[in-house]
Amino acid sequence: MQSFQSKETKSDERPLRLLFLLSRFLDGGIDTVLLEYVNHLADHLHYDVTLGIAICYGDLEVYRPKLSPRVKVVYFNQSPFLTRLSRQRIEKRASFFAASIDEILFVPLRRLATQRGIYKLSRQADAIIDFDCRAYAFLHHIRKRKIAFFHFSFDQVLKNNPKRMNRMKKGLAAYHKVVTISRAMCEEGRKMFPQFKEKFILLYNAKDEQLLAEYAEKTIDNPLIQRPYLLAVERLEESQKDLSMLIRAYSLLVHEHHISEWLYIIGKGKDEAQLKQLAKTLQVADKVVFLGFQPTPLPWILHCKIFVHSAKFEGLPTVLIEALLLDKLIVATDCPTGPREILDHGRCGLLTPVGDAPAFAAAVLQLLNDKSLQQRLLSAAEEQKKIFTFAHIDRQLHALFLGETMY
């Protein structure tokens, strides 16, 4: 059995070569999790890490500067000729005609370039990690260890959609292991795809606790950070998140209970105008602050009074893990999947029913006023937060890449 790879790896041992695959590298939750993984594996465990990205989006790749120089980055589609219309679609400015041309002409060309690029890089890899589960069609005939990461509730993404179910079934056949990031998600996968039951494993998203604390201590040149506030860090898209419920709950807290804390919301998305209008309609627009996208939200999390999270479904929300590791008081909706596991069934933070604004407001009010409850939650979190650190999962990761049974 190969020994665990670490900083003490002998100079005559070849480092394990890992190929991570991603369809696009933008500003979402999956991108931040990927960033944590590849940087940690390259910098701290000294793996040979290559990141293969299907399409280059240039300045839209806001996390690109944060990638370690030890991570080799390869784009499969980089020329403007192949990517221009795709970028317009990402930015929601492509006409119907342009989108149709892209779908008919350029998507097949990009797929071909991606397939060739993956095949070329795979020849030098010991293990291939499909980090957003989008490359399965290109992996069936590659004879290397193949691992997929799935980041959302299977039930929420696939329910009542036979076409997606069949596509996922074909995709799962390509992998040796499928990493799910919450226990509930793992159970969903095994139940929905019993023929692949042995492929599903649980591996929580992890953070480098020391690095997290260092980033959180960075100075923010904005006077808003000095006043008492509740904080949400979410994409402004109501199809998955539920910021409209949060704003309604906050309205109850302001108008019925007269709390002085403001509500800050970090994030961007297509429903921003709708959410701002809701705050205006509920007469809390002067206290609800939309801070937009923040590449480093950790200082804002560190200084908030209560961290709030509202969603209809999740995978394993990274921001909740960050709030837990930074010893914050937390209120979250009990959506599938993730919040209940992160907060240990409510022992480390308060959980409320999805969509229930009065219940959410009541939980925030209770947490603001009950000192003994605050202490109880923070004490329980001390042990719970350890399972979301790389120190806890490093050996599991190494076993996963090698095909050993240590999950």
- pLDDT tens column, 88-135: 999 989 999 999 999 999 999 999 999 999 999 999 999 999 999 999
What is the DSSP track for 202-226? E----B-HHHHHHHHTS----GGGG
The span from the first CA to the last CA of the chain, in angstroms, equals 15
Q: Is the pLDDT of residue 136 over 60?
A: yes
* Alpha carbon of residue 120 to chain centroid: 28
Q: Are residues 66 and 194 in the same domain?
A: yes
Domain of residue 199 covers: 17-206+389-402
In this structure, what DSSP letter does residue 102 have?
I
SS3 state of residue 52: strand
In this structure, what DSSP letter does residue 295 have?
S
The token pair at 339 is 């919040």
235-265 burial, b if ≥16 CB within 10 A, otherwise e? bbebebbbbbbbbbbbbbbbeeeebebbbbb
Q: Is residue 99 part of a domain?
A: yes
Q: Are residues 193 and 101 in the same domain?
A: yes
Q: Are residues 165 and 218 in the same domain?
A: no
Q: Where are the beta strands (DSSP E) in 98-218?
A: 127-130, 145-150, 177-180, 200-202
Q: What is the CATH number of the domain that holds 179?
A: 3.40.50.2000
Per-residue model confidence (pLDDT) at position 7: 46
The token pair at 39 is 């940087």
Neighbours of 97 (CB within 10 A): 8
Percentage, residues of the chain above pLDDT 70:
96
Q: Are residues 162 and 172 in the same domain?
A: yes
- The residue-averaged pLDDT of 300-317 equals 94
Q: Is residue 190 part of a domain?
A: yes
- pLDDT tier at 4 (50, 70, 90 boundaries)? very low
Adjacent-strand bridge partners of 130? 21, 148
Neighbours of 22 (CB within 10 A): 21
- pLDDT tier at 12 (50, 70, 90 boundaries)? low
Q: Is the pLDDT of residue 251 over 50?
A: yes
Q: How many domains does the chain have?
A: 2
Q: Are residues 258 and 192 in the same domain?
A: no
Q: Are residues 174 and 47 in the same domain?
A: yes
Q: Are residues 130 and 226 in the same domain?
A: no
Distance CA 374, CA 368 (A): 8
Per-residue model confidence (pLDDT) at position 11: 46
Q: Are residues 307 and 194 in the same domain?
A: no
Q: Are residues 321 and 311 in the same domain?
A: yes
Q: Are residues 112 and 260 in the same domain?
A: no
Do residues 373 and 367 touch, judged by C-beta distance below 8 A?
A: yes
204-223 burial, b if ≥16 CB within 10 A, otherwise e? bbbbbbebbeeebeeebeee
